[in-house]
Structure 1
């Protein structure tokens, strides 16, 4: 069965405002089920986790439920799911902890395609440890990052490779399993930024070959916080900074302070919302999630083809990058119009398609964008054909 788009859209109160949202890459809208889970948790009795009072047990259940939900979404084990304030914080913390194992002569690989949250934490940590940073480039015309681009900078001294599973700027989806094989062949770990992939495709960490996989629930209809997942055995080898009385157990040793229970409850609700788009509720959640994400991917791909064709047909529009495999993310410029001017014009029509470089500053420089960047139109599971028509009509009004 196809994705029931009317049913999906009916779950998002924000869509009743009449805005066509192409700003999902920066954060999706939230279904009422998620908002209700957050509210219920805030309104119910909770306290620090424990086993004595009902409030303690409720907090413990929320945390365990969120770990299980994220494990089902990512195809990993609950004991390897770490929660943080954001993906950026999680990556900075993990980079500092891992860097304790690095020294002079060690090498860290980052790519020019990545969001800065998967670049700067590693360059900062490498500098502090005396390690060398090596940069993998990508084709500035197509936006493709190949395994050869990464392999060209790997050596026996490579300790970690940081790479995006999907570019938040261009949508490019590198061949992560091939990159993982190349990284592992030289004994390196692979840290994958899955923030922009997770909302658009089924994820299986084992199939990807990722040692670490980071993502953000607010990009797949959940609340604002971050997640990084890894095998519990790998996490056991890493010693982060922590308070003396806090637990040394994995994964809790990586989580600073009391967790935001309401956000974790909302994350579980977001995963359950996605699962409900898949198979019958009586089946296990993981198979339903895989089915649901296949539906989402097919729905978005159909809309995206029309969006790309429509933009290409408008005089003066330049589409940046043409990767063979990509998420439904279009980056474009309009001749004679500043990106922010296009952004403001569309916003006035009730179409949200922001402009900038979106923290992918190295990628923006690589493809030759100026400080203002370009306009980004990203589809989400709740996007429909009317949204695409409205965006194309608005852009056409600006054509020279």
Structure 2
């Protein structure tokens, strides 16, 4: 099925304002069905989950539908989907819970490619119990995260390996499966940050080998809410700190307080929206998601090639390397200009990009760019067009 970008764009009301949104890595615009679902959930009567009356049953149905939707999106099981306010909050939750079983001599492995939300929670959890932290480095020439180094980093005392499925700074997509295999051979868990990757490729947590996979809905047309997915058997022995009367069963015991039912309704709508981007009717949602996300990835790849070719042709523009396999995200600098100034001047022309380190603290520090302002990020999404890429290139020129 052909990816019809004009039809796709019509499903995003915010695009009518005319801005060029080139920072999908920082958050995408919500799709119309998401906005409608959130409003609908807030107009209808809901209450805390229960069975005594219809509003209580309705909220339970919203939660169940959202778990099933996220499971279809990433290839997990509904019973293994845990919701929370952000990927950062959920990663802290998992880190604190897993660290209950760590002690001196144990090790965790983190990478200098990752967003700090998949670094600091593990570093701090390890420090709190006297465990050690080992660091995987980025190849400065290629922007890759070499898998070979993990053979030396992972050992008998490794308890967890944290790695991104796609860098939010450069788009680099490491070999998560190979790293997971090394972790599992040592008896360690693999925690994958899928916040950036989920929006750009068909996702299958089993194929990745991830024991935990975290994702944020606002990076794929949904609301500001997040989920971490694991096999129910992985959740079962884990006991987070919680209130005495709160649910004792998984996944509910990992979800603090009352869930945001309206945002969960929006998550289900976002997944359904993605499934309808470019897939024939009749197939199951999981199959339609894989087909639609593959078609969207092809569209984004064409835009990325156009962007990289155009940037390379501009004198004075330096592109941060990212390797051969990458999401449609590029960080760059304009010679003689602070990244904040470049972003401001583009913003004056209605072109929305990010600047700074985008919380990829370790990457920009290792690259020697953090103290001088980081870089400018152009991150494409499936609603972007060739004309928008050309507008960015013309403005930079």
Give the TM-score category using the shorter length.
over 0.9
Q: Residue in 1 aligned with 2:203? A: 203
Given that 2:171 and 2:328 are in contact with CA atoms closer than 8 Å, whether structure 1 keeps it comes out as yes
CA distance in 2, matches of 1:53, 1:387: 50
- 3-state DSSP class of the match of 1:184? helix
Instruction: Provide the residue aligned with 2:65 in structure 1.
Output: 65
Q: Deviations over 1:279-300 (max 9, x none)?
A: 3332210000000000010000
For each residue in 1:103-126, what CA deviation from the matched residue of structure 2 results, as whole angstroms up to 9, or x when unmatched? 111000000100000000000000
Summarize deviations over 1:351-381 as a string: whole Å, max 9, x none. Answer: 0011110000001111221331100000001
SS in 2 for 1:152: helix
Match for residue 389 of structure 2? 388
Partner Cα distance (1:170, 1:205) in 2 = 22
Shift of 1:100: 0.2
1:174 aligns to 2:174 (yes or no): yes
In the alignment, structure 1 residue 6 sits paired with structure 2 residue 15: no
State whether structure 2 residue 318 is matched by structure 1 residue 318.
yes
CA deviations on 1:36-64 (whole Å, 9 max, x unpaired) are 00000011100001112110111001000
Note the alpha carbon deviations across 1:177-224, whole angstroms, 9 max, x for none.
Answer: 111111111111000000000000000011000000001000000000
Tell me the distance in 2 between the aligned counterparts of 1:379 and 1:28: 10
How far apart are residue 151 of structure 1 and its match?
2.2
The residue that corresponds to 2:269 in the other structure is 269
Distance (whole Å) between structure 2 residues aligned to residue 128 and residue 41 of structure 1: 41
Tell whether the 8 Å contact from 1:147 to 1:182 is kept in structure 2 after alignment: no
Give the structure 2 partner of residue 243 of structure 1: 243
Instruction: Show the 5 A alignment for 1:13-162.
Output: 13-162=13-162
CA contact (8 A) 1:141 1:320 kept: no
TM-score by length of 1: 0.98
Give the whole-Å Cα distance in 1 for the aligned partners of 2:217 and 2:282. 25
Tell me if the contact between 1:329 and 1:376 (Cα under 8 Å) persists in the aligned partners. yes
8 A Cα contact 2:361 2:370, kept in partner: no
Q: Deviations over 1:217-254 (max 9, x none)?
A: 00000000111000111101111011100111010000
Shift of 1:150: 2.2
Instruction: Give me the whole-angstrom Cα distance separating, in 1, the residues matched to 2:370 and 2:391.
Output: 27
Cα separation, 2, equivalents of 1:151 and 1:120 = 23
Cα-Cα RMSD: 0.8
Contact 2:2 2:278 in 1 (8 A): no
Q: Structure 1 stretch 280-289 or stretch 198-207: which is displaced more?
A: 280-289
What is the aligned partner in structure 2 of residue 334 from structure 1?
A: 334
Partner of 2:357: 357
Query: Residue 93 of structure 1: CA displacement?
Result: 0.7
TM-score for the superposition, normalised by structure 2: 0.99
Could you tell me whether the CA contact under 8 Å between 1:143 and 1:321 is conserved in 2? yes
Alignment of 1:220-299 (within 5 A): 220-299=220-299
Contact 1:278 1:290 in 2 (8 A): no
Q: Distance in 1 between matches of 2:313 and 2:366?
A: 26
Distance 2:287 2:342 in 1: 41
**Number of residue pairs matched?**
396
Provide structure 2 residue ranges, at least 5 long, that are not aligned to the other structure.
Answer: none
Partner residue in 2 for 1:379: 380
Matches of 1:151 and 1:390, distance apart in 2: 45
Where 2:210 maps in the other structure, the secondary structure is coil
1:114-145 CA-to-partner distances (Å, cap 9, x unmatched) read 00000000000001111001111110121100
